[in-house]
Chains A and B, each alone.
Chain A
Amino acid sequence: MRLPTPADLCWNVKCSPDQEWIERTLRIAVENVWPRALEAAHSRNGHGSHVVEIVESAIEHAVCRLKTGDPLGPEPVTQLLQRLVLEEVRRRRRANSRMVFVGSSEELPPKPVRNPQIQIDCALDLEIILQGEHPDVRLALLLRYSRFRWSEIAAALGTTEAAVRIRCKRAIERIREKQEGEQHES
């Protein structure tokens, strides 16, 4: 997996002028932590596909902690971010281990059944898909739905086009899967 730029991963970090050191040191920390994060995500989950989500979550927690303390240099911030990344990996692993399979695939109907409530299901699915996303992602998708270009959306959210597209990529993939499912059913 290619290394997203620290700016891409730190896109949501917004600090006051006197706390600009947070963003500066976090960018360095992200560069330092990325290889270890990728390795940790892979070894814990069997794949590294969620590493961007994991690092973004760790960055959010790191910002909360750094805002309440004195300015730190890149080294302690790197250590903090690394610890938060590992905590997030462990948290996700615990959450996954709590998933329980009920029944077996043999109990499923042999082929998809046309659901008369499909309209309601679709609405619920879209809400479920997007409610878990960051409010900025939901707003970005609403703007995209309103035919704004990605560059315009990025300007509205005060970030870069690449960052906003990365941020929305997962949700768009889920919507695409849902839409393709709908087409197959109809």
Chain B
Amino acid sequence: MIVALSCSSRKDAVTVTEHPSIPLDNEDDSLLFEKLQEHVLAHYPNPERKGCPDPSVLKNLIENPSDVTLAQLNDLHIFKCAECTRLLMELREKKKHTQASE
């Protein structure tokens, strides 16, 4: 197995991978998902929170992702819900701050 090395200085870079066919850094797909979030926030308002999973499920998704199932998340609902997306982003930011302060 060839081990590929990347000297990228970009902050989100993955420097070592065992699989050369995968892009060496994931900045590109970070951008893709950021754009997707922006799109969902702009185009899928859901003030009545129709079909939204319970906020505790989203909190669990951030805290213990291995404990959450697709059924609990109402499958792909989050990809079409600005409210869930916003809450997820907030929870993720909170977790980052908590981890940084620890």
- Residues of A at under 8 Å CB distance from B? 1-2, 4-5, 8, 119, 122-123, 126-127, 130-131, 135, 138-139, 142-150, 152-153, 155-158, 161-162, 165-166, 169, 172, 175-176, 179, 182
Contacts and interface: CB of A to CB of B under 8 A. Distances in A.
A157 B62 contact: no
Interface in B61-102: 61-62, 65-66, 68-70, 73, 75-76, 78-80, 85, 88-89, 92
B19 A138 contact: no
Contacts of A152: 65
Interface of B: 1-2, 14, 17-22, 26, 29, 32-33, 35-37, 39, 43-44, 61-62, 65-66, 68-70, 73, 75-76, 78-80, 85, 88-89, 92
Given A130-B76, A135-B70, A143 B22 contact: no
| Residue picked from A142, A157, A176, most chain B C-beta under 10 Å | A142
26 contacts: A2-B2, A4-B19, A5-B19, A123-B44, A123-B80, A126-B79, A126-B80, A131-B76, A135-B70, A138-B76, A142-B61, A142-B70, A142-B76, A143-B61, A144-B33, A145-B85, A147-B89, A147-B92, A157-B66, A161-B14, A162-B19, A162-B22, A165-B19, A166-B22, A175-B32, A179-B36
Contact of B18 (A148, A156, A162, A176): A162
A146 B19 CA distance: 24
Contacts of A131: 76
B70 A175 contact: no
Contacts of A130: 76, 79
Contacts of A155: 66
B92 A146 contact: yes
Contacts of A135: 70
**SS of A interface (majority):** helix
B70 A150 contact: no
A162 B3 CA distance: 12
A150 B43 contact: no
B29 A139 contact: no
A166 B19 contact: yes
B65 A143 contact: yes
A96 to B, nearest CB: 24
